[in-house]
């Protein structure tokens, strides 16, 4: 799965405001803004809503997580095959709220690639970013956990970690893109992320919790073009 770059990835998490019919409503709004602005936008709805959303929009839909288990007798788990069958085009891995072991990250990248699914691996420091980049996911998303959900973007609070991650992953090569997240709220944050060398952003509450989601999405999209 190839995602156009630069990209805005909107993680719905498990917010009630972005679940069920509300997940579809937000996904359609993201699709509308993507088409209006020519921007690349990916949505990651709650697991129960993947099929509903994926069958209703033309922008890429990612899962928020998959488990390193086989399909079949693994009740309650979410497998690569599950999300593929539901219409997902990729998955997040190792989000700060759903950390997994390095060995699992590697296995899931391999399995996802074999299934034709893209991967965005979330990392919290330079060392983990480099290790995960060597596994050749589509993207590594650097997210200092202390800034997630806050009002200060990582591009302002710790631009060095973003720039250092970009340089380190470029040195590794392999075409791995770098995203940044944590505190990203507006077009200025997006523009700064791109200026630092990333190929987009990953965010959640800045869109999901916004009073005027359309205005926020338009502002974020404008940051890709500054």
Which residues are known catalytic residues? 95, 143
- Gyration radius (Cα) of the chain, Å: 16
- Residue 192 near residue 153 (C-beta atoms within 8 A): yes
- Residue 73 near residue 46 (C-beta atoms within 8 A): no
Terminal CA-CA length for the chain: 27
CA dist 14 to 11, 174, 183, Å? Answer: 9, 33, 18
- Residue 98 near residue 108 (C-beta atoms within 8 A): no
Torsion of CA 223, 62, 111, 133, to 10 degrees: 20
Q: CA triplet 14, 17, 19: central angle to 5 degrees?
A: 55
What's phi and psi for 100, nearest 5 deg? -135, 170
């Amino acid at each position: 799965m190839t995602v156009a770059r630069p990209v805005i990835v909107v993680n719905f998490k498990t917010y009630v405001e972005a679940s069920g019919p509300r997940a579809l409503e937000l996904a359609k709004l993201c699709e509308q803004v993507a088409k209006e602005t020519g921007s690349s936008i990916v949505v990651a709805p709650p697991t129960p809503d993947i099929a509903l959303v994926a069958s209703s929009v033309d922008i890429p839909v990612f899962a928020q997580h998959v488990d390193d288990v086989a399909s079949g007798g693994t009740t309650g788990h979410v497998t690569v095959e599950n999300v593929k069958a539901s219409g997902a085009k990729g998955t997040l891995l190792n989000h700060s709220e759903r950390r997994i072991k390095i060995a699992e990250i590697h296995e899931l990248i391999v399995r996802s690639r074999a299934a034709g699914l893209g991967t965005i691996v979330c990392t919290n420091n330079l060392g983990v970013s480099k290790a995960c980049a060597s596994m050749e996911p589509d993207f590594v998303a650097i997210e200092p956990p202390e800034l997630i959900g806050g009002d200060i973007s990582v591009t302002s609070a710790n631009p060095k970690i973003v720039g250092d991650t970009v340089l380190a992953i470029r040195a590794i090569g392999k075409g791995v893109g770098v995203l940044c997240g944590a505190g990203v709220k507006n077009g200025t944050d997006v523009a700064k992320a791109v200026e630092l060398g990333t190929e987009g952003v990953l965010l959640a509450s800045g869109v999901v919790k916004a009073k005027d989601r359309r205005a926020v999405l338009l502002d974020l999209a404008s940051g890709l073009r500054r």
